[in-house]
Structure 1
Amino acid sequence: MTDATASFDPATASAAYRSALQVIGAVEPRVAEAIGAELADQRASLKLIASENYASPAVLLTMGNWFSDKYAEGTVGHRFYAGCQNVDTVEALAAEHARELFGAPYAYVQPHSGIDANLVAFWAVLAQRVELPALEKAGATHVNDLTAEDWTTLRRALGDQRMLGMSLDAGGHLTHGFRPNISGKMFEQSSYGTDPKTGLLDYALVRERAKEFRPLILMAGYSAYPRRVDFAAMREIADEVGATLVVDMAHFAGLVAGKVLTGDFDPVPHAHVVTTTTHKSLRGPRGGMVLAQPEFADAVDRGCPMVLGGPLPHVMAAKAVALAEARQPAFAGYARAVADNAQSLAEGLTSRGATLVTGGTDNHIVLIDVTSFGLTGRQAESALLDAGIVTNRNSVPADPNGAWYTSGVRIGTPALTTRGFGAAEFDRTAELIVDVLSGTTPTATQDGGSSRARYAMADGLAGRTRAAAAELLDAHPLYPGLDLA
């Protein structure tokens, strides 16, 4: 059974949420109304954003408690505030579940988000690979013990390091060295892309680029690459050039946890450091996490106060619950269904004439090149939303429309798989997507020029699509039996 939103007692959950909304509404009724409206909107939409999912009521309820009131800088058993014994319990549980789930020797569950997890990883590598050798050379044990001259030398060394990551238009993430992001300001940055003809990673070209650039960090992972990555090959490249391999598996962590991605395609045995979010395909609360080999554990443990403020104990508690859920046998079935459903969605799209980047998918992501419909990504995203299909526009390799308007739409299967969708429902979803894109045309600006944002849809198309989507959604209700009235 893949529908985790059904694995709860509806009467108990309904009572819990009604009581919570009554308490909230007594203070600010507009917030209570917005919470109820959000549930209604999510129930009524075909959610295909690859980075979104539905957490279980147990995970959601775990975040609303007294842990939110507690400061807990430091690590388990070594806090800068007194009275953290209960925080120690939930953080230790979350880390234990993470280690067991992913087969990692070390887990750090404090990061508030994916970018925080990446910042912790980057600074941990800098501390281990640059700062520690500098301290040893200077005969010091802490940066405060350095002379002014040694400190100046260390600061220059920390700011003179290189990162090689996947380019944004090829499917990488903005935290992998994109210049406007902090990662692109921390490091001298360069990118590797994909084969212009196939859209696939060419490991020989990655190796060649790494040998030319000689990065401190070789960054792997993606946010919009619809294929598997050979992390064993990436580790070989990193070792050849003396780089540290950092893998961001935020998007596909659920497929790793569910043993869909194993062997060379599981980053944990191959990377020095792995970062992830705990939502997306992992189906937990919004947050981040770092897994690392033992030699990086001490440096990662200094995430607070290195780049993090106080951890969020209520979210760490929810991470523990979500990771415990992911360790149950049913989660492997869910993860396999996510990947199988992505195949069905991709096949349904291509059979109806849509063009997909790389021609298909090996994971949970499908990336449509909407230029074949004469649209920009922004036009396609907006038209689909009008029709009740929630997606996000995304760049495609060598995108002529840039990162704002884009030429693609990224879709994913984790959320609707959580609702219980299977192959037939995803094929029907593909049909609805193609119908909307085929029935949408760009329109001119008021002065008659071309617009990359304006569009028109065929009469009645949005309404017909919403009605068809409602049939699919009604057969697979979100949190069935949960009643806020």
Structure 2
Amino acid sequence: MTQTPAHQQTSAHQHPALTATDPELAALVTAEERLQADTLRLIPSENYVSTAVLEASGTVLQNKYSEGYPGRRYYEGQQNIDQVERLAVARAKALFGTDHANVQPYSGSPANLAVYLAFAEPGDTVMGMALPMGGHLTHGWGVSATGKWFRGVQYAVRQDTGLVDFDAVRELALKERPKLIFCGGTALPRTIDFAAFAEIARESGAVLVADIAHIAGLVAGGAHPSPVPYADVISTTTHKTLRGPRGAMLLAREEHAKAIDKAVFPGLQGGPHNQTTAAIAVALHEAAQPSFRSYAHAVVANAKALAEALLARGFDLVSGGTDNHLVLMDLTSKDVPGKVAAKALDRAGIVVNYNTVPYDPRKPFDPSGVRIGTPSLTSRGLGTEHMAAVADWIDRGVRAAGTGDEDALPKIRGEVAELMTAFPAPGLPTA
């Protein structure tokens, strides 16, 4: 009698309909579940969503088309969909304390593009942090549509401190007079001074856009200052530290509400993804609970503890440490390229991403740095007492990458998997 492979048995147990229809795809989903369960996920833009968020993402709301906004749709049969979106909007406004919220953007980059459409014309000058300094592609960087359709000018961080030089930012803004100034980014380990950016935007006549995609959960949980009193518009994804589905939101002052809504629809998008809107509503409800506040502060405490443990092991950290969820390591002194280190750590069960560091002499696809973060491991329940072990695994993995000691990596992977077994991940099958 032919025996069914173990991975197909597991897949059939967890995903019976998917397994019956497409066993090949079901097996891949099961393999990913196992990978997320067994490895130490340190990519700062990743997290684990709750079972409730997963369930909301897969509901029959998938079947509805809903162009327009609640009460102003171009399709009938929206009685329930309108309530879902209104619920998500109300929760976003309450959680962040903002006048207006749009929960329809498909992801962070389209949300940022909507900001351009609302406030700028093609060819206008826009200003953001340079990508190699920790900024984001959509802040006017050349290879992005935002850098091709608009004239992007970039500010940097100081080479000696890794911190933003606000005198230089002000000088650039007054010289270039941009329509938009973006603050925030994708590899910034320090607190964003929204008040300082707001003063520069006011003085230069620019609209200030706070991109809090990485830190939205920290803001919601009171572990990072809020941009709401300072920024004209706030752009954020709903995953990462906020622990929601892959989506985005735009938050704004009431005076900008119509411009933002028109830019999202009909400016850039058709019907919203209603199943994602529902999952965003669930995530926002979870983020309003006292336990989420504890989680947000634990993310920062873990990141600081991990940074201290890495410094003690001789690692160079951009800006010397962290104030938030993210640590950016410069491996130049270790004589190990970031890409080589990241791939070795992956084989050791430690999932990171290679990343440029400020003033990096190496190319972006083969940079000097590695970017790590603590949202995922905090969601699993790891605390500051575990960060020395995490730093030790990273240290051993990087040293193994430098010496070519492949035998060391499976040993680390086994130790990682053993600890992960003691801290089951939210949303993942337990058997």
Q: TM-score, normalised by structure 1?
A: 0.85
User: How far is 1:182 from its partner?
Assistant: 1.1
**Residue 177 (structure 2) pairs with residue 185 (structure 1):** no
- Letter paired with 1:322: A
**Residue 286 (structure 2) pairs with residue 325 (structure 1):** yes
Confirm or deny: 8 A CA contact 2:194 2:231 kept in the other structure.
yes
Map of 1:101 onto structure 2: 95
**For the residues of structure 1 that align with 2:166 and 2:349, how far apart are their CA atoms?**
39
Q: What does 1:191-206 align with in structure 2 at a 5 Å threshold?
A: 191-206=154-169
Confirm or deny: 8 A CA contact 2:316 2:333 kept in the other structure.
yes
Which deviations, in whole Å up to 9, do the C-alpha atoms of 1:400-427 show, x marking residues without a partner? Answer: 1121111100000000000001012122
Q: Judging changes above 3 Å, is the alpha-carbon distance between structure 1 residues 301 and 188 closer, same or farther for their aligned structure 2 residues? A: same
**For the residues of structure 1 that align with 2:428 and 2:361, how far apart are their CA atoms?**
47
**Residue 221 (structure 2) pairs with residue 258 (structure 1):** yes
**Residue 250 (structure 2) pairs with residue 287 (structure 1):** no
Q: What does 1:76-475 align with in structure 2 at a 5 Å threshold?
A: 76-126=70-120, 158-262=121-225, 266-302=226-262, 303-441=264-402, 457-475=404-422
User: How far is 1:68 from its partner?
Assistant: 0.8
Moved more, 456-465 or 338-347: 456-465
User: How far is 1:364 from its partner?
Assistant: 0.4
User: How far is 1:186 from its partner?
Assistant: 2.2
Confirm or deny: 8 A CA contact 1:383 1:457 kept in the other structure.
no
**Residue 423 (structure 2) pairs with residue 476 (structure 1):** yes
Confirm or deny: 8 A CA contact 2:326 2:371 kept in the other structure.
yes
Q: Judging changes above 3 Å, is the alpha-carbon distance between structure 1 residues 245 and 481 closer, same or farther for their aligned structure 2 residues? A: closer
Q: Judging changes above 3 Å, is the alpha-carbon distance between structure 1 residues 283 and 367 closer, same or farther for their aligned structure 2 residues? A: same
User: How far is 1:467 from its partner?
Assistant: 1.7
SS of the aligned residue for 2:132 comes to: coil
**Structure 1 segments of 4+ aligned residues over 2 angstroms from their partners:** 17-20, 479-484
**For the residues of structure 1 that align with 2:15 and 2:414, how far apart are their CA atoms?**
30
User: How far is 1:459 from its partner?
Assistant: 4.6
Moved more, 92-101 or 475-484: 475-484
Which deviations, in whole Å up to 9, do the C-alpha atoms of 1:357-409 show, x marking residues without a partner? Answer: 00000000000001111121111111111111000011101111121111100
**For the residues of structure 2 that align with 1:259 and 1:411, how far apart are their CA atoms?**
22
SS of the aligned residue for 2:34 comes to: helix
User: How far is 1:19 from its partner?
Assistant: 7.1
SS of the aligned residue for 1:43 comes to: helix
User: How far is 1:18 from its partner?
Assistant: 6.6
User: How far is 1:20 from its partner?
Assistant: 6.6
Confirm or deny: 8 A CA contact 2:221 2:292 kept in the other structure.
yes
Map of 1:47 onto structure 2: 41
Q: What does 1:65-80 align with in structure 2 at a 5 Å threshold?
A: 65-80=59-74
**For the residues of structure 2 that align with 1:112 and 1:95, how far apart are their CA atoms?**
15
**For the residues of structure 1 that align with 2:317 and 2:77, how far apart are their CA atoms?**
54
Confirm or deny: 8 A CA contact 2:142 2:148 kept in the other structure.
yes
**For the residues of structure 2 that align with 1:482 and 1:26, how far apart are their CA atoms?**
19
Confirm or deny: 8 A CA contact 2:125 2:180 kept in the other structure.
yes
Identical amino acids, percent of aligned pairs: 46
Which deviations, in whole Å up to 9, do the C-alpha atoms of 1:62-82 show, x marking residues without a partner? Answer: 111211111111111101111
**For the residues of structure 1 that align with 2:421 and 2:374, how far apart are their CA atoms?**
18
Q: Judging changes above 3 Å, is the alpha-carbon distance between structure 1 residues 19 and 458 closer, same or farther for their aligned structure 2 residues? A: closer
SS of the aligned residue for 1:275 comes to: strand
Q: TM-score, normalised by structure 2?
A: 0.95
Q: Judging changes above 3 Å, is the alpha-carbon distance between structure 1 residues 459 and 220 closer, same or farther for their aligned structure 2 residues? A: closer
User: How far is 1:33 from its partner?
Assistant: 1.3
SS of the aligned residue for 2:146 comes to: helix
Which deviations, in whole Å up to 9, do the C-alpha atoms of 1:217-248 show, x marking residues without a partner? Answer: 01111110100111011000000000000111
User: How far is 1:297 from its partner?
Assistant: 0.2
- Letter paired with 2:230: H
Confirm or deny: 8 A CA contact 2:126 2:153 kept in the other structure.
yes
**For the residues of structure 1 that align with 2:75 and 2:260, how far apart are their CA atoms?**
20
Confirm or deny: 8 A CA contact 2:337 2:369 kept in the other structure.
yes
Map of 2:6 onto structure 1: none
**For the residues of structure 1 that align with 2:296 and 2:350, how far apart are their CA atoms?**
22
- Letter paired with 1:299: A
SS of the aligned residue for 1:55 comes to: coil
Which deviations, in whole Å up to 9, do the C-alpha atoms of 1:424-471 show, x marking residues without a partner? Answer: 212210111011112222xxxxxxxxxxxxxx6315210111122123
SS of the aligned residue for 1:59 comes to: helix
SS of the aligned residue for 1:169 comes to: helix
**For the residues of structure 2 that align with 1:214 and 1:299, how far apart are their CA atoms?**
21
User: How far is 1:188 from its partner?
Assistant: 0.5
Aligned length: 420
Q: Give the greater-gyration-radius structure (CA).
A: 1
Confirm or deny: 8 A CA contact 2:424 2:430 kept in the other structure.
no
Moved more, 277-286 or 419-428: 419-428
**Residue 19 (structure 2) pairs with residue 56 (structure 1):** no
Q: Judging changes above 3 Å, is the alpha-carbon distance between structure 1 residues 380 and 19 closer, same or farther for their aligned structure 2 residues? A: closer
Confirm or deny: 8 A CA contact 2:309 2:388 kept in the other structure.
yes
Where structure 2 has 5 or more consecutive residues not aligned to the other structure, the ranges are 1-10
Confirm or deny: 8 A CA contact 1:210 1:241 kept in the other structure.
yes
Confirm or deny: 8 A CA contact 1:246 1:275 kept in the other structure.
yes
Q: Judging changes above 3 Å, is the alpha-carbon distance between structure 1 residues 396 and 164 closer, same or farther for their aligned structure 2 residues? A: same
Which deviations, in whole Å up to 9, do the C-alpha atoms of 1:149-172 show, x marking residues without a partner? Answer: xxxxxxxxx223111100111110
Q: CA RMSD in A?
A: 1.4
- Letter paired with 1:411: I
**For the residues of structure 2 that align with 1:295 and 1:100, how far apart are their CA atoms?**
18
Map of 2:28 onto structure 1: 34
**For the residues of structure 2 that align with 1:217 and 1:480, how far apart are their CA atoms?**
39
Confirm or deny: 8 A CA contact 1:425 1:472 kept in the other structure.
no
